[in-house]
A and B are shown apart, each in its own frame.
Chain A
């Protein structure tokens, strides 16, 4: 069965950095685009970033562009999110999520989500 397990969350000071990881299993990771989506405490869902199945293209929400970098290592079945210049408003649970269809050029729908990892930006 599909499993997505995030790690790397924690408490960080404003201006600091953190790298999240998402270990994938149960499907051919290299065939699917992947997303990071976040949810601030008590709030709704906000898309953060998407990377194509082969890593050839990456897209970001305006709120994180220039500060966050999405990447993947298909040999390790792992997705990453490097977060720099963190702000209080980045505090959220970060989910990695899998695209529903393989070899897509662009997103279509998200079919599986991890349990999430909490990032808290606070002094």
Chain B
């Protein structure tokens, strides 16, 4: 199985300031079809996960443009340009390149 490692575990951020989360995979996420199936999910307290970003950098419908994804191969990053109160929650990276989807351990974003 591909192991997904996220850092940091926790990210206290001041409102209006940027936040960045890293995700590293144990092997390349480039699929044989040329795509890289790396997604980012947000889980607010008491809610199910919600898709933010898919295939590294594609913002899902309705996701604010302060969220952006980047990276390639085994190293990926989610950035929030200006954190808002509603962004509090746990963020997960997820790979679907290899069957047997795997998730990072999660990064908790909280307000300082």
Contacts and interface: CB of A to CB of B under 8 A. Distances in A.
B34 interface: no
B60 A111 contact: yes
Contacts of B25: none
A113 B100 contact: no
Query: Could you say which interface size class chain A belongs to?
Result: 20 to 34
A105 B104 CA distance: 24
A53 B104 CA distance: 26
A24 to B, nearest CB: 15
Contact of A44 (B39, B50, B55, B103): B103
B50 A113 contact: yes
Interface residues of B, number: 22
Interface in B13-65: 35, 37, 39, 41, 48-51, 54-55, 60
Most chain B CB within 10 A, of A110, A115, A116, is at A110
Most chain A CB within 10 A, of B37, B55, B96, is at B96
A46 B51 CA distance: 16
Interface of B is mostly: loop
A27 interface: no
B105 A95 contact: no
Interface string A82-110: 00000000000001000010000011111
B99 interface: yes
A35 interface: yes
Contacts of B89: none
6 contacts: A45-B103, A50-B101, A108-B55, A109-B37, A110-B96, A110-B101
Given A44-B92, A59-B99, 5 more contacts: A47-B102, A95-B49, A109-B55, A113-B48, A115-B48
Which 3 pairs from chain A and chain B are nearest by CB?
Answer: A47-B101, A109-B54, A113-B48
Interface of A: 35, 37, 44-47, 50, 59, 61, 95, 100, 106-116
